[in-house]
Every structure is written in structure tokens, then in C-alpha cells.
Structure 1
Amino acid sequence: MTADEMTDEEVDAFLRERGSGVLALTDGAESYAIPESFGYDGDALYFQLVYDEGSRKMALVESTGVATFTAYTETPAASVVARGPLDVVSDGDAPRASEALAENGTVPTLNVSTETPPSELAFDYYRLTPADLTGRVFGSAFEGGTER
């Protein structure tokens, strides 16, 4: 199977049509990859992270210098990888994050903990501003939801 690089326009279309992927975090010694819903506004990826007290995910969010996020499909086989800093979104930018998530995010279940009831979960918006953004297609190529 051959692999081809996506154009910038294809990467943009791919991210606007996806709603979830895998966010990889690290503390420098251990990695942690979790499925996350995301929104994309053409410049950044937005996440609404849900967590409870003592969250491993949030501890790794704090220690990760460069996060990696991968969105992918199986048919056609394609993926986009975004790498960059993961920063908390200020209250002033929260509407932008909310709008991006509403556009293309996949709504996850709030039962992220088997021990913590949803009423005790916290929510924060985070933004990944890609320093590196690449896409690849394998076999049949992706172009805005259709084959090339």
C-alpha cells in the first residue's frame, strides 16, 4: 500500500470532518494516549477535558511540553497528526473553543470515571496549537471526504 502526503487543504477538510481521535501526553518517562473529542477552527484543535480529582490525565497535561493528536479513518485509510503545546483556554476564548467543538466534535459520554459521579467531574477547555501538522493517505486518497 502506498502513502501520499495530504495537501494543506486536504488536512483542513479532514480535521473539519472528524470529531474524535487520540491525544498522546507524556511526563518525559511515561506516555499516556486517550481518545478525545475535538473541534477544529482552521488554526487550532480544541478539547473539553473532563476529569476528577487526582486525574492521571490532568497530571500529564501539566507535564507535557508537546502533545500529539492523531485523527484517522480506516476507509479510506488516512490520518492527520498534530503536534504542539496544549494550553488551557482562557475564559475570553471559551466561546471560540465551544463553537469549534459544536461544529465537529463528537459528544462523548460523561461517565469517564467508574467511581466518580458526573456531578463531581470538572470540565476545562484546552487548545492544541499545531507547530507541526501533517496528513497521509494510504491507497485511495482522501480529498474533502471523497476519493481523489
Structure 2
Amino acid sequence: MTDKLSQEEINTLLYESGVGVLALTDGTEAYSIPESFGYDGEKVYFQFVYTANSKKMRFLETTETATLTVYDENPTRSVLVQGSIEPVPGEDETKAATAIAENASIPTLNVYTETTPDEFTMDYYRLEPTAISGRQFSAFTPTPDDR
């Protein structure tokens, strides 16, 4: 059984989570990746780290509507944020950096172990939500008739 989350509950999960799964597409294939993010109550911000041959960036170029899935297991609940992803304009980079600093879960895992820092790029992007939904899952308690 599921219940819709209120906007306040959705905002709380987005502020507290700081990491989710970002789904992109090239029109044929889907590509989902874990991503840290910051949320300012309106937009979702990412700081993408990538190399010249990044699959993430190739898919980003062809994705019209991306989906960020954020979830928690205690209680079991999830939020879907859908919308377009665009580079953050220079004048908004401080806003992006602040949102990321305040609530992103920054991984300590280096995914570019064979790459020197001058071989990758870091840029801010934002997901402009066109739809946000959330739900909470109630525990199923079997009755004697369910057994």
C-alpha cells in the first residue's frame, strides 16, 4: 500500500538525501547513474565530473526529460523529480555551489583512478523540475487469511 507524500515531505527527503539515481536516455537506451545533488527548494543542482569520452555527457545531450529518483528505506519512501537538465549559467554558480555544499552527499570514491586531474572537467548543471512526486510505502502485515 502506498500513500502520496506532501510537498513538505518531498522537500525534506530531497534536502536530507543528497544522493539519488539520475536516469538519462539517448532515445533508445536508458542510462542510470548515482549522483550527488543539492536542492534549494526549487531546483536540483549537480556538479558533474567527466572526461572527454563520458557516456554520462553523451546521454545528457540527448535527454529531453531526465528523472532523478531519491529514496529512503526507513521509512520506505521515494521521490521522483523529472525535467530538463541544463548547464548552470555563470551568474548562478554560487547558488549551485551553495545548494550542493548544504546537502549533497559527496562521495569519497574516485571513479577516475587512471586519470589525472587535468584530464577531467567539472561543471555545474541543474535539473529544472516539470514534475515532482513522492510516495511512502506502508508495511504489509499479513492477516491469518493471507497465509
TM-score normalised over the length of structure 1: 0.90
Q: Deviations over 1:13-46 (max 9, x none)?
A: 1111111000000000011000000000000000
1:24-35 matches, cutoff 5 A: 24-35=23-34
Partner of 1:67: 66
Structure 2 counterpart SS, 1:100: helix
Q: Deviation above 4 Å: which 4+ runs of structure 1?
A: none
Unaligned runs of 5+ in 2: 140-147
Deviation at 1:114, TM superposition (A): 4.0
Q: For residues 42 and 57 of structure 1, what CA distance do their matches in structure 2 show?
A: 25
Partner of 2:143: none
Q: For residues 123 and 48 of structure 1, what CA distance do their matches in structure 2 show?
A: 6
Q: Deviations over 1:87-125 (max 9, x none)?
A: 010111100000000110011236222432334211011
Structure 2 counterpart SS, 1:103: helix
Structure 2 counterpart SS, 1:115: coil
Q: For residues 122 and 27 of structure 2, what CA distance do their matches in structure 1 show?
A: 25
Structure 1 counterpart SS, 2:79: strand
Partner of 1:85: 84
Letter in 1 for 2:37: F
Percent identity at matched positions?
50
Task: Assess if the C-alpha contact under 8 Å between 1:50 and 1:112 holds in 2.
Answer: no
1:1-148 matches, cutoff 5 A: 2-109=1-108, 111-139=110-138
Q: For residues 126 and 136 of structure 2, what CA distance do their matches in structure 1 show?
A: 25
Letter in 1 for 2:56: K
Q: How many residues align?
A: 139
RMSD across aligned C-alpha pairs, in angstroms? 1.2
Partner of 1:145: none
Structure 1 counterpart SS, 2:129: coil
Q: For residues 4 and 110 of structure 1, what CA distance do their matches in structure 2 show?
A: 35
Q: For residues 23 and 51 of structure 1, what CA distance do their matches in structure 2 show?
A: 15
Structure 2 counterpart SS, 1:28: coil
Q: For residues 109 and 117 of structure 2, what CA distance do their matches in structure 1 show?
A: 6
Letter in 2 for 1:16: Y
